[in-house]
Amino acid sequence: MLEIFLYVLVSGITALVVTLFVRSRDRNLVNFEKLKKFTEKQMEDFEKFLNTKSRELEELLV
């Protein structure tokens, strides 16, 4: 009887740990995707800024 109780207890704890690990990993992946999108947006904005400044500089030199 004690062996069955311990087996169920250990199985339950293992399932809980695995579930928490998977959820944590999924959250990190979601955060990584958000950060990746944000970084890509920042790079696009910076590229637009550089293009604008480049055109302004060309106009000043002409």
DSSP 54: H
Residue 44, pLDDT > 90, answer yes
At residue 41, the 3 state secondary structure works out as helix
Q: What is the mean pLDDT of residues 4-21?
A: 87
What is the reported pLDDT for 27?
A: 77
Q: Tokens for 11?
A: 């199985």
3-state SS class at 62 = coil
- Pick the more confident residue, 28 or 44: 44
